[in-house]
């Protein structure tokens, strides 16, 4: 089906109802990839059909990379659907699997659309749903939303009805955000239907025009505040002071100034990118106690699609203050890293889409050589973590330098988690047996992290109980050995899959002893 096609509803075949609302009904097509939104009869008279046609055609006017990247971040309309010769609705993509969440509901798990509104609840309620979300993910999510909105603005596209109902999040992939209900957006100053606003997400003044870059900025500030507060209605930016001073300043300025003086989404994007990178470095650099697991940022979980009241924000953990202190010390490093690794410098939207294609491993059209280099870099980092683990285990068996050994194992576990996160976002579709290579890397890093965590508990127990105590042969050592064996099996498979690729592209080969 082409971009410009108009299709009759009869051509869509069997459909299953996904839901309905004030504008109409949404149906899932049998192909498993598309969704049909049919407007209610009373809404169709208000449709600007030309605006809908222009929206469907919009990606075709962009360079291929931009158009493809646009589609990775939103359910953009792909075709007009007619009923009895009249425009009745449109087709759009089904939200990708990564933008669904598995949450605990009293007696069992349920799969739900991962609407951002799920995150705007108090930590205790969310933790009951068993889907942990920390402040690092919040920063990454907001950064991706700001990136997407800033570049939409460069394309003369305004989100308009920005609300947590129209946004999805992912805990497993990058980008972290995915926009739905894109037909509410204003493209080139035109809207398919009159602009509306979600309750509690309105522009601050009744006289302010809606569906503008300025109203987008205001609503984004609300989203930032509410995501960290775990509250659906709060408008006080104070919560952000403990997250990042620059983010707090932007939010406060947005809420207090006239529309034309609000910070742009490009400013938000730069500030959030720097904060996210700083937090990542600070977390990696923060010392860990060998006798206890590292402090966790506020655990937050996703909640049901329909949310109820709000609750006061919970106290922030001591780890946040530690990260902020480290962040100040690392400012020069952060600035250099930002410049080196490419916070998008959007003099034009084309620049950003091009840069995103270079730096984001989920972008489209990554060449085989680029994919091979990304895998090689990841395996090299993993090899350094393995050396640290081997040395720490040898020291524990010899009963020497136990606190340092436990700390080394904790840092190795952090490295394995970072490698696991990276492996989940790598594109290997242009490499021979790429899917299996990715699967084995994920298995190897997951089992390695579990092994490192178990070995750290073992080393800490030996340090506390003594070298001649039963702790030396305790259950955590056995668990570490078991997980290590599982990781080793996956690493052997990685070596078999990767080495021919490495030789083809001039990268070092590996063995299960070097990953």
Q: What's the whole-number mean pLDDT along residues 210-238?
A: 95
- The pair of structure tokens assigned to 346 is 């959007």
% of residues, the chain, pLDDT over 70: 83
β-pairing, 79-83 vs 6-8, is: parallel
Q: Which residues of 116-152 are buried (b: 16+ CB within 10 A; e: fewer)?
A: bbbbbbbbebbbebebbbbbebbbbbbbbbbbbbbbb
- Give the whole-angstrom CA distance, residue 495 versus residue 499: 6
In sequence order, what are the beta bridge partners of 35?
A: 28, 92
- Give the whole-angstrom CA distance, residue 143 versus residue 127: 24
317 has a pLDDT exceeding 70 = no
Q: What is the DSSP letter of 84?
A: T
DSSP code per residue over 206-251: TTS-SSSHHHHHHHHHHHHHHHHHT-SS---GGGGGGT-HHHHHHH
Identify the pLDDT of residue 206.
Answer: 80
More confident residue, 309 or 248: 248
Q: Decide: 168 and 136 in contact? Cβ < 8 Å.
A: no
Cα 115 vs. chain centroid, distance in angstroms? 13
Identify the pLDDT of residue 372.
Answer: 93
Encode pLDDT of 473-483 as tens digits. Answer: 989 999 999 99
Encode pLDDT of 94-115 as tens digits. Answer: 999 999 999 888 788 888 999 9
* Predicted model pTM: 0.58
Identify the pLDDT of residue 365.
Answer: 56
303 has a pLDDT exceeding 90 = no
Reduced to 3 states, what is the DSSP secondary structure of residue 298? coil
335 has a pLDDT exceeding 60 = no
In sequence order, what are the beta bridge partners of 323?
A: none
Q: What's the whole-number mean pLDDT along residues 221-228?
A: 97
DSSP code per residue over 120-159: SS-HHHHHTTT--B-HHHHHHHHHHHHHHHHHHHHTTEE-
Identify the pLDDT of residue 226.
Answer: 96
Q: Give the burial class of 209: count Cβ atoms within 10 A of its Cβ; 0-12 exposed, 13-18 middle, 19 or more buried.
A: exposed
Chain-wide mean pLDDT for the chain? Answer: 83
Identify the pLDDT of residue 363.
Answer: 39
Q: Give the burial class of 385: count Cβ atoms within 10 A of its Cβ; 0-12 exposed, 13-18 middle, 19 or more buried.
A: buried
319 has a pLDDT exceeding 50 = no
| Other beta carbons within 10 Å of 417 | 16
Encode pLDDT of 32-86 as tens digits. Answer: 899 999 999 999 999 999 999 999 999 999 988 888 889 999 999 999 999 999 9
Reduced to 3 states, what is the DSSP secondary structure of residue 445? helix
Picking from 401, 307, 39, 326, the residue whose alpha carbon sits closest to that of residue 184 is 39
Picking from 104, 167, 152, 107, the residue whose alpha carbon sits closest to that of residue 132 is 104
Omega into 175 within 30° of 0, i.e. cis?
A: yes
Identify the pLDDT of residue 131.
Answer: 84
Reduced to 3 states, what is the DSSP secondary structure of residue 385? helix
| Other beta carbons within 10 Å of 361 | 17
Identify the pLDDT of residue 139.
Answer: 96
Quickly state the pLDDT bin for 144 (edges 50, 70, 90).
very high
In sequence order, what are the beta bridge partners of 86?
A: 83
Q: What are phi and psi of 294, to 5 degrees?
A: -65, 150
200-203 CB contacts, 8 Å cutoff, 24+ apart:
200/232, 200/233, 201/161, 201/162, 201/163, 203/259
Identify the pLDDT of residue 418.
Answer: 86
- Give the whole-angstrom CA distance, residue 219 versus residue 203: 7
Q: Decide: 359 and 341 in contact? Cβ < 8 Å.
A: yes
Q: Decide: 178 and 211 in contact? Cβ < 8 Å.
A: no
Encode pLDDT of 166-179 as tens digits. Answer: 999 999 888 899 99
224 has a pLDDT exceeding 70 = yes
Tell me what percent of the chain is helix, strand and coil, each rounded to the nearest 5. 55, 10, 35
> H or E stretch including 36?
strand 34-39
Quickly state the pLDDT bin for 164 (edges 50, 70, 90).
very high
313 has a pLDDT exceeding 60 = no
183 has a pLDDT exceeding 90 = yes
Encode pLDDT of 342-387 as tens digits. Answer: 443 333 333 333 333 333 434 345 788 889 999 998 998 888 878 8
Query: What stretches of 230-342 show up as alpha helix (H) in DSSP?
Result: 245-256, 265-285, 318-329, 331-341
Identify the pLDDT of residue 282.
Answer: 78
Query: Position of tokens 């080393």?
Result: 459
Indicate left, alpha or beta for 271 from its phi (over 0: left) and psi (-120 to 50: alpha): alpha
Encode pLDDT of 426-469 as tens digits. Answer: 889 899 989 899 989 999 999 999 999 999 999 999 988 888 89
Encode pLDDT of 485-515 as tens digits. Answer: 999 999 999 999 999 999 988 999 999 888 8
Q: Which residues of 418-428 are buried (b: 16+ CB within 10 A; e: fewer)?
A: bbbebbbebbb
């Amino acid at each position: 089906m082409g971009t410009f096609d108009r299709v009759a509803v009869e051509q869509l075949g069997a459909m299953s109802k996904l839901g309905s609302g004030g504008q109409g009904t949404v149906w899932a097509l049998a192909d498993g990839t598309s969704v049909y939104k049919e407007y209610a009869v009373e809404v169709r008279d208000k449709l600007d059909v030309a605006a809908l046609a222009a929206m469907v055609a919009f990606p075709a006017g962009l360079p291929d990379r931009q158009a493809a990247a646009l589609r990775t971040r939103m359910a953009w309309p792909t075709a007009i659907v007619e009923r009895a010769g009249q425009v009745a609705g449109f087709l759009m993509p089904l939200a990708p699997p990564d933008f669904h969440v598995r949450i605990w509901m009293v007696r069992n798990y349920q799969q739900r659309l991962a609407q951002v509104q799920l995150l705007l609840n108090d930590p205790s309620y969310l933790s009951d749903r068993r889907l942990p979300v920390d402040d690092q993910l919040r920063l990454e999510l907001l950064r991706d939303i700001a990136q997407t909105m800033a570049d939409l603005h460069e394309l003369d596209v305004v989100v308009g009805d920005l609300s947590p109902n129209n946004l999805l999040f992912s805990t497993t992939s990058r980008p972290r955000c995915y926009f739905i209900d894109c037909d509410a957006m204003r493209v080139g100053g035109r809207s398919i239907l009159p602009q509306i606003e979600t309750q509690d997400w309105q522009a601050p003044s009744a006289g302010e025009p809606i569906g503008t870059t300025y109203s987008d900025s205001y609503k984004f500030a609300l989203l930032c505040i509410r995501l960290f507060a775990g509250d659906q209605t709060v408008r006080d930016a104070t919560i952000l002071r403990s997250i990042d001073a620059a983010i707090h300043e932007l939010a406060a300025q947005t809420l207090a100034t006239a529309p034309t003086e609000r910070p742009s989404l490009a400013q938000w994007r730069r500030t959030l990118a720097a904060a996210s990178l700083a937090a990542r470095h600070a977390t990696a650099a923060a010392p860990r106690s060998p006798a206890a697991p590292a402090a966790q940022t506020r655990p937050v979980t996703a909640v049901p699609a329909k949310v109820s009241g709000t609750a006061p924000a919970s106290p922030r953990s001591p780890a946040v203050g530690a990260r902020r202190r480290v962040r100040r010390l690392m400012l020069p490093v952060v600035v250099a890293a930002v410049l080196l690794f490419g916070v998008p410098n959007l003099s034009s939207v084309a620049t950003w889409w091009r840069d995103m294609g270079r730096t984001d491993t989920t972008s489209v059209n990554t060449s085989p050589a680029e994919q091979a280099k990304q895998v090689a870099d990841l395996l090299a980092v993993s090899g350094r973590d393995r050396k640290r683990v081997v040395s720490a285990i040898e020291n524990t068996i010899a009963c020497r330098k136990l606190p340092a050994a436990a700390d080394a194992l904790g840092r190795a576990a952090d490295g394995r988690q970072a490698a696991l996160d990276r492996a989940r976002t790598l594109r290997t579709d242009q490499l021979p047996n790429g899917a299996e290579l990715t699967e084995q890397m994920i298995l190897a890093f997951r089992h390695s992290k579990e092994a490192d965590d178990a070995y750290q508990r073992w080393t800490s127990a030996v340090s506390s109980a003594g070298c001649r105590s039963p702790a030396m042969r305790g259950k955590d050592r056995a668990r570490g050995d078991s997980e290590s064996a599982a990781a080793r099996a996956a690493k052997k498979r990685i070596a078999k899959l990767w080495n021919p690729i490495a030789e083809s592209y001039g990268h070092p080969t590996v063995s299960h002893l070097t990953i």
